[in-house]
Structure formats: structure tokens, C-alpha cells
Chains A and B, each alone.
Chain A
Amino acid sequence: MSFSVVLLGSPNSGKTTLYNWLTQSKFRTVNYPGSTTEYAVGECASRWGLKATVVDTPGVYSLLPKSADEQVTCEILKALPLENKSRKLVVVVDGTQIARHLLLARQVQDSGVPFVIAITMKDLLSKQGLELKKEVLEKEFSVPVVMVDGLLGGGITDLIAQLQTIPANEIPLQFKGWTQTQSDIIRRKFETVAEQALGLRHASVTQVLKPIFERTKMLDRWLLHPVFGLLIFLGVMTLLFSSIYWAATPFMNGIDAVFGWLNERALSLGEEKLWVDFLSNAVIAGFGSVLIFVPQIFILFFAIGLLESTGYLARAATMVDRPFSKLGMSGRSFVPLLSGFACAVPAMMATRNISSSRDRWITNFIIPLMTCSARLPVYALLLTFLFVDEPLKAGFALALLYLVALIVGAGVAAILHRILKRNDVSLLMMELPLYRQPRWSVLLHQTLEKTKAFIKRAGPVIFVLSLLIWVLSTFPRTDLAGNERFNQSYLAQTGQVLEPLFSPMGLDWRAGIGILSSFAAREVFVSTMAVIFNIESETEDGLSEGLLASLREARTSGGDLVFTMSSVVGLLLFFAIALQCMSTFAIAIKEGGSWKFAWLQLFVFNSLAYGLAVLAVQMLRMAGLP
């Protein structure tokens, strides 16, 4: 009989490491039935010889939840059957923090649900010549206790064996709470238990385990230093960002080349045929526009995973907590905002461990302002246009665009912070875990899985919309071809109707179409521009001489140049701020809890973007600039 194994434990208890050992880091996200929350589920790897589903839960300090994340865990514990199966519970306990972590085990026991205790960090104890006597714990709890080594995977077979001895059940886990007195008694009891388990009689557990924490303490002297800590932090961030660009570039070029080649092959089947056009411009271009960003997203997931597994992320969150609090967010907003620089979708999903829903709301609201990787092709095109043969200036302008987005983000957050009333408690109370060496193979594996999950989620949406754009830009005159057909298409007709909207930005309907189409996915702007200006551009970056030259010469019906310095600046500002991404909109509905949040976000950012773009263009023109 198959069952679901649920891993329960405090943050930093080694729970996720255990999960990775059990499932080889594989996971898929599933929806908790009846709500918008999701959790990670994987199948037990075949090497363990157990047919079971493994469910990882967000870390909890107690079964009385104090954040959205903890709420999810509590709901998972009540959701039965889980994955259509009965469930078996494993409570993960950090061997170096026994007394504290056993409280959770006791809460589970009080709820009457059978479980197994898995003790982690065995390797750290062994290094100090310490051994944990699991019999002590087995006696205390009357449940099977297993020692697990997160480093080498020792003890997993033992865990599997012990899991067979407890019954799979469907008892919803509900903990009623303890009184102050009860808590005190239980706490004191566990201190004694911890001492006995480590075989100590007169020494205190803290003293004996102290050497394990020495290195971390020393490192924190520098990494949390008021001056050096900050400098190191800035250094780490700079390294992270620059690597997203220079390390990703060769891969992106590779993917570009592959899709360019695919496109060529497709077109060789007969460009005039409609289905070939569909294949090339909808299917291949659609997939290409999603896959081109995979290298950057991979690198960002990798970098964040690295910072997290070493323990540095908690320090980073601690350092930014104060400034972030002034903007209505928290230190825990750091990782989501950082992830937003790759893509807003995983970023908005990462805000769940922010305890205050108000902090979370504000963080989610400004995430789309973080310059995501999809904006880069657009920036690349427009900046190359502005700064011909001046790569240094272009680079500087790019950095400036990032800064502008950050400033606008901070501004919007500050305003929201003023407007929104505080209706819940905001907590930091961040535990700073031990610094650890990352396990590279696990990290790589994890990153791969997260990247795959991203593609599976965002892919279909972008693809469907590219398709839609193709349909709208091809029909109704399929008897015509190329530019003529496009000029008569539904999309073009819409653009022409809306032209008055785009003229204050100094643009004509063709650029306007580009903007409209970029609402599917920002990078579609570049390929749309290529299509409209009728240039054979096989790659999506469209930086061929042909496209740029055409853009330079494009004129409105009135004879004015469409792409001038001011209109391009306007475009850049627009793309920096506007919310143009159906995937983000879809995720916003989910994470914001209602359509209201998503629509508000869409409206605010797009009006702001439009307003600023128009303002910039008009002001530049009044100043006499082209």
C-alpha cells in the first residue's frame, strides 16, 4: 500500500536536505485543494525501494501558525487523504538543537498522530566526538527514532525501515496549545532529555556543543559587521548580478542560434504557406521567447540556492530588514525582490514566508518593477539604437535604468506603506543558522528542478499568447502576404485606432502595436518590431543592421521620424515600469488572493508608465531635443 510521507520540522532543521535525499531533489508543485496555496511533492527515489510520495512542508516553529507559510504546513497536516493516500509523519529534529526542536515533536504527540523522529546533523556531532543516544528519545516519546546524516545520506534506509512500523493514517493534526505552565514544564524536561541523550551528566549541552558554533560566530564578526558586513554584502550582490549577465550570455547566444537554425529549416518548407508561417512565427518564436531566458533564470536560482545553503541569506535578510521596514516590507522580502530580477513569477511565489500579510502585499506589489530578464532584449535594442558604437554609454544607461526601476519601486512601496493601515503584526525574529559548505551536486540538481518547474509554469501562458498575437497579426487577409497582410490584420487595425494614444509618446501605430503585443511577453516587442518593419530577422534579438536601419528611417504618416531620442527614452521608461506579462498577471491573481490585487497592479503600473513616458517625451521635446 502506497502512502504519503510528510516531513515536518523547524526552519533550518535539515528537513529539505532530507527531502532531497529521499526524492533526488525532484519535485512538482501541487495545489492544496480548496485554496490557492501550493506545496512541493516528489516521489521517493527508486534506490530506496519504497513506493511513496514525499511531501516537504514549510518550516514551522510550532503548530500554532504565525505566517502564511506556517499556515500552509498546518493545512497540509489537516488535508487527508494527502495525494490520495494515507499519510505517515516524520518529525525532523536538529541534533544540535535538540531541546528546542523536540517541542514540535511533543506537539505532534499531543495531537495523537503517530510519527517517526529523524535526527539530523549527525555529522556535526560526530566531529565533536559526540554521539546521540536515540534510546533516550525513544523512551521519552515511544516512537521510532532514526539518526540521519545529511552530508552522506546515511540513515535513510533506516528511516524507510522504521516508517514501515508505524501505521499510515488519516488523522487530521490539530494542536490545541499549551498553557504557560505546561510549556515551562515541557521545556525543562527536554533540557534534561537533551543532556541524557548526549550522555552528559554535569556539563551543559550548550557548553559541549559550543565548538560547533565557533566558526559561524567568527564569520559573523565580519559578515555582520556594521561596515565590512555591508561592503561584503554589496560585493556579493554585484557579483551575483554581473554573473547573471556575463555567465548567461554564451548560453543565450547558443539558444538563439538553435532557434535561428530551426526557423531557417521551417521557412525552407515554403514561406508562403500559412502553416509554415504559423510554425515559424508562432510555434518556434513562441517557444524561443520562453527558452531564451532559461540561462539567466538558472543562474539566479543557482545563486540564491548557494546563498541559502551556506546560510548567508539569513544574514543578508537581517541587514536589509531595517531599510526595508521603512518601506513597509521586511528582511524576508529580500529574496523575492532579488528573484524578481530574473522573473516575477517565482519571485511572487517566494513571498510566502513573510509573516505579515501586509508586508507581503507590498512586496508582491512592487516585484514587477524589479528589472526582469525579459526586459533585456528590449533594452538591448533600444539602447543600441540610442548609443550607436558607444557601448560604454549604453552600459551606463542600462545601469541607470535598473536604478530608476529600483527608485520607483522604493517610492511606490513607501507610498503604500503610508496609505495602507497596519492590521497585523510584522515579525522578523530570524534565526541565523550555522554556516555550511554547499553540496554542489545537490545544489545543481535543485536548481535544475526549479528551472524545469518555471518553464512548465510560464511556458504555456507565453506560448498561447504568442499564438494569439500571430493570429491577430495574420488574419483576416490570409490571401495576402508579408507586410500587406500585416497592415490589414486585426492587430494593425487595432493599432491604427489606438494611434492617438501613442502619439503623445512620439510613436505611431506600428510602435504602438509593438507595445500592445509586448503585453504577452515583453521580449515579443523586438520580434514584433522586426515583423512590422519587414526585415528578415531570424533571431529574436533583432540587432541586425537591417532592423536598426529601418527603425531609424521609419516615419509617421505625417512625415516625422518615429524613433527619435525622446521617443526611445519614453519607450525605455515605459518598459521599465509597465506591467506587461500575462504570466505575472496570472500569478498575481493567485498570490494576491483576488482579482482586485492583480487589476490594481496592472492599472497603477501601466498608467504610471504611460504618464512618465509621455512626460519625458514632451519635456525633452520642449527642451529642443529630437
Chain B
Amino acid sequence: MGEREIEKTVLAIQGEAFICDRLRELGLFVGLQITILGRAPFAGPYLIQYNNTVLALREEEFQCLSL
């Protein structure tokens, strides 16, 4: 969680259907601009921000987003 915030755009949401469905229900979609805030301690979940929502995503959940 440093100063290095990375802005990315969601190019695709693909992978395990269960996970992708939930990602969409949480408001993620193709074309959305997200900010990667960093990772939690212990090389933990990724912290992403979009539309003033902050989400903690595990590695495998994060991988479903092509950025």
C-alpha cells in the first residue's frame, strides 16, 4: 500500500463462472477503469478500487480480470 497506485482498464472478465459472476455483481465490467492500490501483507489479497468501492481479491480472483 504505497504511493504506487496503478490505473488499469478491465479488458475482460474470464475464468471460473462462479467467480466471474460475483465480480460482475460487485460492479466490475469490461471497460471499467480500476486502480490497483497494492497488496495486503503476507503477499495477501490485491486491493483494487473502482467507483469508490474498494475490494480485496485473492490471487485467483484477481486473475479473472484481464487488465
Contact = CB atoms under 8 A, between A and B. Distances in A.
Contact of B22 (A61, A96, A100, A206): A61
A183 interface: yes
Given A220-B1, A224-B1, A427-B22, A100 B53 contact: yes
A331 B41 CA distance: 13
A183 B16 CA distance: 18
B45 A430 contact: yes
A213 interface: yes
B18 to A, nearest CB: 5
A596 interface: no
Nearest to B43: A322
B67 interface: no
Contacts of B41: 224-227, 229-230, 319
Contacts of A96: 52
A323 B44 CA distance: 8
Interface of A is mostly: helix
A209 B53 CA distance: 11
Interface residues of B, number: 32
B53 A97 contact: yes
A205 interface: yes
A29 B61 CA distance: 34
A183 B26 CA distance: 12
A103 B22 CA distance: 13
Nearest to B52: A213
A261 to B, nearest CB: 50
A224 B40 CA distance: 6
A378 to B, nearest CB: 34
A321 B56 contact: yes
Given A184-B29, A210-B52, A431-B55, 16 more contacts: A61-B25, A66-B21, A96-B52, A97-B51, A97-B53, A100-B26, A213-B52, A220-B54, A226-B1, A229-B1, A230-B42, A325-B58, A331-B45, A428-B61, A430-B45, A431-B26
B36 interface: no
A183 B51 CA distance: 18
Given A62-B25, A229-B1, A322 B45 contact: yes
Nearest to A187: B29
B50 to A, nearest CB: 8
Interface in A309-334: 314, 318-319, 321-323, 325, 331
A321 B18 CA distance: 19
Nearest to A424: B18
B26 A61 contact: yes
Given A103-B25, A321-B45, A430 B55 contact: yes
Contacts of A430: 45, 55-56
A64 interface: yes
Contact of A318 (B40, B52, B53, B61): B40
Given A103-B25, A220-B1, A226-B1, A431 B53 contact: yes
Contacts, number: 115
A229 B55 CA distance: 17
A247 interface: no
Contact of A209 (B16, B24, B39, B52): B52
A125 B55 CA distance: 22
Contacts of B27: 99-100, 187
B40 to A, nearest CB: 5
A221 interface: yes
26 contacts: A61-B22, A61-B26, A62-B25, A64-B21, A66-B18, A66-B22, A100-B51, A103-B25, A212-B52, A217-B49, A220-B37, A220-B47, A224-B40, A226-B39, A229-B40, A318-B40, A318-B56, A319-B44, A321-B40, A322-B44, A325-B58, A425-B18, A427-B22, A428-B56, A429-B58, A430-B56
Contacts of B29: 184, 187
Interface string A179-207: 00001100100000000000000000110
A232 to B, nearest CB: 11
A62 B24 CA distance: 10
A432 interface: yes
B-side interface mostly: mixed
A205 B25 CA distance: 19
A187 B30 CA distance: 12
A354 to B, nearest CB: 14
B21 to A, nearest CB: 7
B9 to A, nearest CB: 15
Nearest to B51: A206
Contacts of A323: 42
A230 B40 CA distance: 9
B55 A221 contact: no
Interface string A91-131: 00000110110010000000000000000000000000000
Contacts of A210: 52
Contacts of B54: 213, 216-217, 220, 431-432
A337 to B, nearest CB: 17
B22 A318 contact: no
Contact of B42 (A62, A99, A221, A322): A322
B1 A205 contact: no
Given A184-B29, A212-B52, A225-B1, A318 B21 contact: no
Contacts of A322: 40, 42-45
Contact of B57 (A205, A325, A425, A429): A429
Interface string B4-26: 00000000000010110111111
Nearest to A208: B52
A314 B49 CA distance: 15
Listed residue (A212, A213, A427) with the most chain B CB atoms within 10 angstroms of its CB? A427
Contact of B19 (A216, A221, A325, A427): A427
A206 B52 contact: yes
A62 B19 CA distance: 13
A428 B56 CA distance: 7
Contacts of B43: 322
